[in-house]
Amino acid sequence: MSSNKLRLGLIGGGANSFIGIAHRIAAHSGEQFSLVGGVFGSDHRQSKEFARQLDLDESRTYADVESFIERELLLPESQRIEVVSVLTPNFLHYPVAKKLIEAGFNIICEKPMTFTLEQAENLAALVAEKSLIFCVTHTYTGYPMVRQMREMIAAGAIGKLQKIDGQYYQGWINEFVHDAEKRSEVWRLNPEKSGQSCCFGDIGVHLFNLIEFTTGAEVASVLADVDTMYIDNPLDVDGTALIRTGEGVRGIIRASQIATGEENNISLAIYGDKGALKWEQEKPTVLHFLQEGKPAQIFKPGNDYNSAFAQESNKLAPGHPEGMFDALSNIYSGVAKAVRKQAFHQGAFPGVADGVRGMRFIEAVLSSDRQGQVWVWV
């Protein structure tokens, strides 16, 4: 194991986990972390088998979080895992992260940060008390062209902000939502495991985070209309939220997991009084810059005309596409700098405050819908 790499542990993210694959590749490709061990699933035997497949030391593969903490803390600090990625289903984020923070571990946590806003605020206070690093993996903020978008808006390229239009469409829940028996097989549709929300808790919150990340503005209030499709389906699978920033700028967030045929269609358009910027996740290497009466411009990664933040986030020469693994790798690299107390760009990784903001948004959306589609403060 290279001594100059941070020692990483995983909670969850085992053999059949898509998100586990993403995190392992991202951590490895940034060359800042070395995966040491963890709790890869609820079945210890299967976890150990998975560790063998990854050529990891089985003695660092634990049966549960309590064993992980107890045995890691017995090791010399020079050998102990330094950062832990929490990749469990939503209902375990809070209890797992809380125990790890109390034991002194830095955290990378999947979104949504917790089940409730109160839990998120509790974690934020604990992180501050312990002076630890806490990252929530809003992966899309790691794309070079999203970071370029942020820097151009901050530099005044589009002028005064006046319109926000965001869309996040998937279609995968169609296979399950129309059949009550099939719905029971999907943990994201189970409030005991998923939490208060499916669609807005899973993908709508990503778009909310992207809007605040790129514009630098805070969403102050929402008016939302969400749909569960069936009376006996307790969680939202589709919805629309009108938003207003603190400065009164209007916008819209459209999120759906029943948009038939869609895969992971995120599009974000930010309009100012001098220009506009548009980005799509399925074409992540292209950033469109629009101005009245002028030809549209295209910005691409790897070019010297991009901001320092965007250039730092790109690993390859122009014309060599990078994707989700690379975006997540950029977030891991930001965390590594923070843990090492090195300088890093503002926005290098979504922090605990972003996790709290996300939970505020989710609860505001649901509250607005329950009250009959009224404006609710975020």
Q: pLDDT tens-digit profile of 151-177?
A: 999 999 999 999 999 999 999 999 999
Shared fold status for 6-139 and 144-315+351-377: no
Domain boundaries, the chain: 6-139, 144-315+351-377
Euclidean distance between CA atoms 287 and 152, whole angstroms: 11
Structure-token match 């898509």, residue found: 18
Burial of 366 (0-12, 13-18, 19+ CB in 10 A): buried
pLDDT above 60: residue 184: yes
CB neighbour burial string for 5-31, b if at least 16 within 10 angstroms, e if fewer: bbbbbbbbbbeebebbebbbebbbbbe
Euclidean distance between CA atoms 281 and 378, whole angstroms: 26
Q: In what order do the strands lie in the sheet with 134-136?
A: 33-39, 6-12, 83-87, 106-109, 134-136
What pLDDT band is residue 222 in, cutting at 50, 70 and 90? Answer: very high
Least confident of 95-104, 179-188, 274-283, 353-362: 179-188
User: CA-CA distances (angstroms) from residue 248 to 26, 155, 222, 356?
Assistant: 38, 20, 12, 22
pLDDT above 60: residue 21: yes
Architecture of domain 144-315+351-377: 2-Layer Sandwich (3.30)
The phi-psi region of residue 15 (left if phi > 0; otherwise alpha if psi is between -120 and 50; otherwise beta) is alpha
Q: What angle do CA 275, 278, 279 make, to 5 degrees?
A: 155
Rounded to two decimals, the pTM is 0.96
Would you tell me how many other CB atoms lie within 10 Å of the CB of residue 321?
12
pLDDT, the chain, mean: 96
Check the CA dihedral 94-140-328-149 and report its sign.
Answer: negative
What pLDDT band is residue 3 in, cutting at 50, 70 and 90? Answer: low
Euclidean distance between CA atoms 140 and 142, whole angstroms: 5
Architecture of domain 6-139: 3-Layer(aba) Sandwich (3.40)
| Three-class secondary structure assignment of the chain | CCCCCEEEEEEECCCCCHHHHHHHHHHHHCCCEEEEEEECCCCHHHHHHHHHHCCCCHHHECCCHHHHHHHHHHCCCCCCCCEEEEECCHHHHHHHHHHHHHCCCEEEECCCCCCCHHHHHHHHHHHHHHCCCEEECCHHHHCHHHHHHHHHHHCCCCCCEEEEEEEEECCCCHHHHCCHHHHCCCHHHCHHHHCCCCHHHHHHHHHHHHHHHHHCCCEEEEEEEEECCCCCCCCCCEEEEEEEECCCCEEEEEEECCCCCCCCEEEEEEEECCCEEEEECCEEEEEEEECCCCCCEEECCCCCCCCHHHHHCCCCCCCCCCCHHHHHHHHHHHHHHHHCCCCCCCCCCCEHHHHHHHHHHHHHHHHHHHCCCCCEEC
What pLDDT band is residue 1 in, cutting at 50, 70 and 90? Answer: very low
End-to-end Cα spacing for the chain: 45
pLDDT above 60: residue 2: no
Q: How many CA atoms lie within 13 A of 62 on its CB side?
A: 19
Which two three-digit tokens encode residue 378?
């975020």
pLDDT in tens, 299-354: 999 999 999 999 999 999 999 988 999 999 999 999 999 999 999 999 999 999 99
Euclidean distance between CA atoms 52 and 65, whole angstroms: 19
Which of 45, 54, 340, 241 is CA-nearest to residue 9?
54
What pLDDT band is residue 16 in, cutting at 50, 70 and 90? Answer: confident
Share of the chain above pLDDT 90, in %: 96
Predicted local confidence at residue 84, as pLDDT:
98
